Amino acid sequence: MKPRIGVLTSGGDCPGLNAVLRGVALAAQKLDFEVLAFLDGFEGLLPPGNFIHLNRRSTSGIMPRGGTMIGTTNRGHFVAKVGAGEKAVIASEVIEGARAVLQEQRVETLIIVGGDGSMTTALQLQESGINCIGVPKTIDNDLAATAMTFGFDSAVAAVTDALDRLHTTATSHKRIMILEVMGRHAGWIALHGGIAGGAHIILIPEIPFDYDKITEAIHLRETKGSVYSLIVVAEGACPADGQAVKRLAEAGEDRFGGIGGVVAAEIAARTGKETRCTVLGHLQRGGAPTTLDRILGTRFGVKAVRLVAEKQFGCMVSYQNYQVRHVPIADAGNRLRLVPPDGEMVQTARDVEISFGD
C-alpha cells in the first residue's frame, strides 16, 4: 500500500490555492504517495472524515481557477487564534477525533495550507503528535516567516485594475475617488496596488493619517493643475487621533471595513469636492491567479511534498531570497510582517509624489 499524505486549505481563500493542490498531487504521485484532501478546512478532519482523493486526474485543469477546489473555512472546531497575538486551545476531543480519522485513513502527514491562524492550529496539532507541514497563504502578505505568499500578487492586480478604472472616471468628473482595499493590520496591498495604479494618496495602518495633511495634498495637486485625486485606503488604516473602523468580531477575530466611507465624508466636507468611495472587497480574493501566483503556488505545493518525503515535520514552506525554503511552524503563527514606515517602498512612493496623509 502506498503511503498517504493529507492536505487541507484553511482560512480565507485566495488565488493560487488550486495551483498548490495541483503541485501537491503531481509531486506526490511522482514519489508514489497517495493524497487525501480533507474538505472545508480542518472541519474535514472531524469524524468520520470528509475527503476526496487528489491525483493527476482530479486536479487536471484547476490551475487557472480561483478559490480552492476542496473548500475552506475560517471558523469551526479548530480555531486556535482568537485575535492579534492571542491563542485558544483546541479541545482535546477534537484533536483526538482528527487523530482517529487520520489513523483510520493511514494518513501519515498533513499538509496545511493557511495563514497565521491556521499555522497556530497546525502547531497545536504538531505538538499533539500529528505530523504537520505548513504552506503559508494570504492575500495580505503579512506573515513574518515568509517574504511572500501567493494570492498577494493577484490581489494587487485587482487593486491596480480598479484604480485604472477609477482614474478615467475621476478625471472626467474632476472628483476625488477613494478605493478601500483589504489587508487587515498590514498595508501591503494598499501600498503595492496604490503605486502600481498611480494613486496620489495611500493610507495604511502603519502610518496614522491626519485629515489636514490629506486636504493639503489634494490642494497641492490642484495648484499643479490636477483637479482630481485617487486615494487608496487600507481597511485597517486609521487617523492619528482616532481608531480603526471595524464591522464586527467573529470567532474573536476583528473584521475591518468602512474606513473608506468615513474618509470620503470627511474629505468631501473639508474640500467641498465631489467625493466617491468604492469598497473593492472580495473582488480582491476571487478570480484567476496571476502568473506569479500560479508559479509560487506550484513551487510551494511541490516543496511541501519534498518536506514530507524528508520527514521535516513541524516545518512550514517559506520564500526567502528568491528560494523556496522552510522554517519551523512555531516561527510562523501569530507573527505579522508589517510595512516599515521608513522602508524603501514607502520612500519610493513619497518620491513619486504619493502622500501618506502624515
Instruction: Enumerate residues 249-268 that contact ligand F6P by CB under 6 A.
Output: 255-256
The DSSP call for residue 138 is: -
CB under 6 A: which stretch of 133-141, 198-206, 210-218, 295-303 binds ligand F6P? 133-141
What is the rounded radius of gyration, in angstroms, for the C-alpha atoms of the chain? 22
Residue 191: how many CA atoms within 13 Å on its side-chain side? 27
Tell me, residue by residue from 158 to 197, as one string, x for binding to ligand F6P by CB under 6 A and - for no binding: ------------------------xxx-------------
Question: With respect to ligand F6P, which residue has the nearer C-beta, 256 or 300?
Answer: 256
Which residue's beta carbon is nearest to the bound ligand F6P?
Answer: 182
Q: Is the Cβ–Cβ distance between 164 and 289 less than 8 Å?
A: no
Residue 72 binding ligand F6P, by CB under 6 A: no
Say if strands 34-38 and 51-54 run parallel, antiparallel, or are unpaired: antiparallel
Residue 152 binding ligand F6P, by CB under 6 A: no
Residue 329 binding ligand F6P, by CB under 6 A: no
CB of 173 to ligand F6P, least distance (A): 29
Residue 285 binding ligand F6P, by CB under 6 A: yes
- Nearest in space to 277 (alpha carbons), one of 245, 315, 313, 309: 245
Question: With respect to ligand F6P, which residue has the nearer C-beta, 6 or 260?
Answer: 260
Q: Between the CA atoms of 219, 224, 228 and 230, what dihedral angle is there, to the nearest 10 degrees?
A: -80
CB of 231 to ligand F6P, least distance (A): 18
Say if strands 323-328 and 315-320 run parallel, antiparallel, or are unpaired: antiparallel
Catalytic residue IDs: 140
Question: With respect to ligand F6P, which residue has the nearer C-beta, 53 or 247?
Answer: 247
Question: With respect to ligand F6P, which residue has the nearer C-beta, 34 or 180?
Answer: 180
Report CA-CA distances (Å) from 96 to 90, 91, 209, 348.
Answer: 10, 9, 48, 51
Q: Which residues pair with 320 in a beta bridge?
A: 323
Q: How many CB atoms lie within 10 A of CB 129?
A: 9
Residue 74 binding ligand F6P, by CB under 6 A: yes
Question: With respect to ligand F6P, which residue has the nearer C-beta, 220 or 288?
Answer: 288
Task: Give dist(CA 157, CA 348) in Å, integer.
Answer: 19
Residue 139 binding ligand F6P, by CB under 6 A: yes
CB of 252 to ligand F6P, least distance (A): 13
Task: Give dist(CA 294, CA 313) in Å, integer.
Answer: 25
Q: Is the Cβ–Cβ distance between 3 and 34 less than 8 Å?
A: yes
Task: Give dist(CA 203, CA 186) in Å, integer.
Answer: 11
Question: With respect to ligand F6P, which residue has the nearer C-beta, 24 or 245?
Answer: 245
Residue 138 binding ligand F6P, by CB under 6 A: yes
Task: Give dist(CA 177, CA 230) in Å, integer.
Answer: 5
CB of 139 to ligand F6P, least distance (A): 5
CB of 113 to ligand F6P, least distance (A): 14
- Chain contacts with ligand F6P (rule: CB under 6 A): 12, 74, 138-140, 182-184, 235, 255-256, 285
